[in-house]
Structure 1
Amino acid sequence: MMSVTGKAKDVAEAREALDGIFSAIAYLAGQGLPLRRREEKTSNLQRLLDQSERTCPALKTWRKRKQTFTSPEIQNEILELMASAIVRQIANSVREDVFAVMADETRDSAGTEQVAICLRSVNKQLEVEEQLIGLYSVESTTALVLSTVIKDALLRMELDLKQLRGQCYDGAANMSGKFKGVQALIKQEEPRAVFVHCTAHRLNLAVQDCMDGVRPLRDTIQETGRMIGFFRDSPKRLSCLIHFGADKSLRPLCPTRWTCSEPALASVINNYTAVLSSLEAIADDPSTRPDQASTASGHARRMQSFDFFFGLSLALHLLRMTTPVMHADNKTQSHISVSRWTKVSHTEA
């Protein structure tokens, strides 16, 4: 029969090994890295554990067991435990005071509608904190469904709706509708939850209306977006651009976030000569397909006009004035990573 001392030693070594596995998973998740690959032996988690074995003999001994608690199912369960611990910590930090909720829905690459919900509060040092509490899949984006999801998320965190003092959404009718929007449905239960149209969204709409309302700006930005896509769609054309002296590749132009378009326009105007020379070279190259050569020729003619250069310069000037406003609006936001697990793991073990 194993002695008490031997049993305690085995428990201590097992605890140390499991702590190493939890720490490895927390590190990878916090860095946004995938844990698994097609071949489990070459996954990021297994490679990280291989490195950890050098300083942790208990982990090396543990991984020789038949059950090592590193299967994909257990990895997912560990991640859920960490996420729950972080959410509980967030809930505890805001439960004693009033708070505001922010939500926005979007469709992911798989076509699934998801709602991102954040809490906004003020800590004891009077510092604003914005913390993501989760992504929730929804079957529809009606006001009733979205308001139910928000209230359910608060209920799961044991946050009283009576403590809600603010709502921040975009200007879509299902969110901001005066009578049947999400903000109106929540106000029926808590009238003190004041609705505020998202500042970043309003800024983006204002810039969009400004650009779309001026023909030279609108035409120049649309042409610039097509030209940037023309280069970025082909490694050969990007190589040609670098060959003519471009210091960096062209930045993509976001079709919806106008306040993020400054880097794209700046990359064109800072490499104006190289871009124009590349387009002319592509248009004159006999090996270029006729449709691509014609497109390059059209872009080159447009770049040689005063209207294009003036419109590009003016758009960049206007966007540079909105960028500080955008940064000022976002600077109080904080991001939650799984690294916060280390702050609560020992207290909740």
Structure 2
Amino acid sequence: MLPKKHLSGSEKRKRRKLVEELNKSQQGAIDKFLIRNVDVVHENLDHPNENLGDDIDDSNLDDQSEPTIPTNNDIDGEETIPSIDIYDPINWTNLSNKIRDSIIKKGPIRELNLDYPCDDNNRHFKYAYFSRKLNNGEISDRKWLIYYKHADKVFCFYCKLFKSINNKSLLPNDGLSDWKHIIDRLKHHENSNEHMNNMSTWNETRIRLDNNETIDKNLLEAIMKEKDRWRQVLVRIFSAVKCLATHNLALRGSHEKLYQDSNGNFLGLIEMIAEFDVIMQDHVKRIQNRDIHHHYLGHRIQNELISLLANNVKCSIIKIIKDAKYFSIILDCTPDIAHQEQMTLVVRCVNMSAKKLQIEEYFLEFLEVNDTSGLGLFNVLQNVLKCLDLNVHDIRGQGYENGSNMKGKHQGVQKRLLEVNPSALYMPCACHSLNLALSDMAHSCIRATSFFGIVQHLYTLFSSSTKRWKILLANVPELTLKCLSNTRWERRIKSVKAIRFQTPQLRLALSILYDSCVNDAKSKSEAESLYNALGSFEFLLGIVIWYDILFVINMVSKKLQSKSMCIDITIEQVQGILSYFEKFRDEGFTSSMNIAKSIALKMDVEPTLPTKRRVIRKRHFDETNQDDEQNKSPEELFKHEYFFVVVDMAITSLKTIFEQLKTFESILGFLFDSNKLKSLDENELRGRCVTFHSTYTSDVDLNDLYSELKVIQSTLPNKLMSATEILEFVISADCYPNASIAYRIF
């Protein structure tokens, strides 16, 4: 059976209905998009939502999902129609006035540099058809001619928009693809009266739209006025969200209604603004009177605005990183409250956009991690860098904690990243290394472990009830006991400090606790045990030693956590603390003994260490060593078995950290400051440049870098300049490109 040549009446009505629904849905999607971008407001304000009331959490209002484009499946179960492109001439049937006005303002759109497909006769459209040659030799542009690449057809822009029903030509209807006769067809069309009339209509309409002189002028003025009002409202809502997000304050409360208790900071801020601002006051009044359909105060709008702010900040950060080109990554993994492992991504770079160059560290995002192996973490890192449009080959440094999955030399993240980018040198976290050193020191001998056990026991006892806390605070008014941190060991200084300077008061508080615990045998026993422990001279000596150790490490750790910390200062700090412990090993025990004795005398404690009986388990032990051990005094035994063990463990750990840092100094040390650079002669400078170039081969030219640094040596001011100041000098001179790269990498 042959197919029908013409559609039946029911099919025509069905298609006409489909087109009308498509246009309506398309119009809604455009309006929604424009409103979300603070460009247009809803015009149907005459139909308030009956369910609005004062409830700000109405999900049927401003939090509606984006309108969807109807399909044939939605109507008659036929094939799906793709989303509509309003600038596709094929869809210019039964256009709404608003869309038609937008197309008229936009004018004909012409895509250049297209590859025009050939038909069955090997003919195709040519760019030359967009113009015609006049009799006097001039070239006239056919601005009205538009080519639609998806259908491989041409249309007349003017006639397609303003065509009459009787016009049967292909250019204003289905499009022309007869490339053999196209020149004649175009010439005939552009000389027709209807084409000229439609062109005149388009020009007149465009001018009226530009001058706001259309027939709906009053309506457009009202729309523009309402648009401006909405823009002012949205600016205030946006500012309220930005203020709360900037100060890290919660937006929502237990209720989401205006002028209701516990409705949160956001609505409270809106209420406060409405007291002084006329625009927001009018907006709130419209909500209460149910005069508007959308209010934009719901929680989903708040989340959307926060998301817009976050994306804006992230784009700004990424732009700074790209301007600097070179950057380092800092990763750390930790489980969240739901025990989901997550990895933080921090990027360190030179901020070139600031008035004064600064070294910045930017937190970018949390990354959900399901595979915590080195390969799993590396894959997550690669994916996020790709999403952020950051080049993995621009990484020049990587810093992690000391976990094997992160720093592992064979399967860790640092090894896998070095395989992709050999210039991404790995540096372990100096603060985490100090924490590990403290942990090793605390577990180096039984006496040290027992010491921290007593400190923790003190905190547990005094925090077990409110009554006991009051007793403690009555006797120790200045400092309170702190719980020992299991991860940040340098923070234990707060726990030790409270005992170090208030041991007599704490011992008195324990005595009071012992007397008050008449019916609590367990607490009474614990108070007595701790009272005796604080009356031990060994504990007093330990508290003095550990306070000095924790104080110096905590001080250095705080300095190392500065975001502007550079490797040269890190080396100085680690070298300084290493020298301190080497000196403390020789002199610290004597000074600690003197301080501990003064504390013991205040507490009426005998300042002597107990004599412990030593059991020699090996029968064939050397008699000379046995006699030496037995002849040592309790102080000497404490010094060798406790003090030296702890301090030597610190020195060993710090030397390991220092050796790792010295590797970086061998590559970058000549860039530390102006004195370092100027102190090098030509041979030394050449050697340093060779070492730098061997690490960063693709970044700098060896000979150019050497030549530039020689000139910089003689042109730098005669004062001490940091690496950042030298980089500012190099950039301002604008003639040392390789030196600029070297200092940016450093």
Q: TM-score, normalised by structure 1?
A: 0.89
Q: Distance in 1 between matches of 2:465 and 2:241?
A: 37
Q: Distance in 2 between matches of 1:7 and 1:180?
A: 63
Query: Does the 8 Å contact 1:14/1:58 carry over to 2?
Result: no
Structure 1 position 333, deviation (Å): 5.6
Structure 1 position 158, deviation (Å): 0.9
1:318 is aligned with what amino acid?
Answer: I
Structure 1 position 282, deviation (Å): 1.7
Which residue of structure 1 lines up, in the alignment, with residue 318 of structure 2? 91
Which residue of structure 1 lines up, in the alignment, with residue 350 of structure 2? 122
Distance 1:268 1:20, change over 3 A: farther
Greater CA drift, 294-303 or 310-319: 294-303
Query: Does the 8 Å contact 2:517/2:523 carry over to 1?
Result: no
Which residue of structure 2 lines up, in the alignment, with residue 40 of structure 1? 256
2:333 is aligned with what amino acid?
Answer: E
Q: Secondary structure at the match of 1:53?
A: helix
Answering whether residue 256 of structure 2 is matched by residue 29 of structure 1, we say no
Q: Secondary structure at the match of 1:101?
A: strand
Distance 1:23 1:251, change over 3 A: farther
Which residue of structure 1 lines up, in the alignment, with residue 512 of structure 2? 281
Structure 2 counterpart of 1:267, from 494, 498, 506: 498
Structure 2 counterpart of 1:138, from 369, 372, 393: 369
Structure 2 counterpart of 1:57, from 273, 278, 294: 278
Query: Does the 8 Å contact 2:373/2:405 carry over to 1?
Result: yes
Which residue of structure 2 lines up, in the alignment, with residue 247 of structure 1? 478
Q: Secondary structure at the match of 2:426?
A: strand
RMSD: 2.1
Greater CA drift, 270-279 or 308-317: 270-279
Query: Does the 8 Å contact 2:252/2:266 carry over to 1?
Result: yes
Which residue of structure 2 lines up, in the alignment, with residue 147 of structure 1? 378
Distance 1:30 1:318, change over 3 A: same
Look at both structures and tell me which one has the larger radius of gyration over its CA atoms.
2
Q: Distance in 1 between matches of 2:459 and 2:517?
A: 22
Distance 1:8 1:268, change over 3 A: farther
Q: Distance in 1 between matches of 2:277 and 2:446?
A: 66
Which residue of structure 1 lines up, in the alignment, with residue 334 of structure 2? 106
1:101 is aligned with what amino acid?
Answer: I
Distance 1:196 1:288, change over 3 A: farther
Distance 1:297 1:40, change over 3 A: farther
Q: Distance in 2 between matches of 1:242 and 1:224?
A: 17
CA offsets per residue over residues 13-48 of structure 1, 9 Å max, x none?
322222222222222222222222222342121112
CA offsets per residue over residues 69-117 of structure 1, 9 Å max, x none?
2322222222222111111111000113100000010012221111011
2:303 is aligned with what amino acid?
Answer: N
CA offsets per residue over residues 216-275 of structure 1, 9 Å max, x none?
333222221221133234332221111224223323321221111112211222332332
Q: Secondary structure at the match of 2:427?
A: strand
CA offsets per residue over residues 127-164 of structure 1, 9 Å max, x none?
32111101112123111221111122211221111111
Distance 1:26 1:225, change over 3 A: farther
Query: Does the 8 Å contact 1:216/1:307 carry over to 2?
Result: no
Written as runs of structure 1 = structure 2, the 5 A alignment for 1:1-349 is 3-41=219-257, 42=262, 43-63=264-284, 64=287, 65=292, 67-96=294-323, 97-124=325-352, 125-286=356-517, 289-332=520-563
Q: Distance in 1 between matches of 2:265 and 2:464?
A: 31
Q: Distance in 1 between matches of 2:527 and 2:514?
A: 5
Q: Distance in 1 between matches of 2:269 and 2:248?
A: 15
2:236 is aligned with what amino acid?
Answer: G
Identify unmatched segments of 5+ residues in structure 1: 335-349
Structure 1 position 118, deviation (Å): 0.1
Q: Which has the higher strand share?
A: 1
Query: Does the 8 Å contact 1:246/1:275 carry over to 2?
Result: no
Identity, in percent, stands at: 25
Structure 1 position 179, deviation (Å): 1.6
2:428 is aligned with what amino acid?
Answer: H
Structure 1 position 166, deviation (Å): 0.8
1:67 is aligned with what amino acid?
Answer: H
Q: Distance in 2 between matches of 1:227 and 1:15?
A: 61
Q: TM-score, normalised by structure 2?
A: 0.43
1:68 is aligned with what amino acid?
Answer: H
2:251 is aligned with what amino acid?
Answer: L
Query: Does the 8 Å contact 1:246/1:271 carry over to 2?
Result: no
Q: Distance in 2 between matches of 1:76 and 1:10?
A: 25
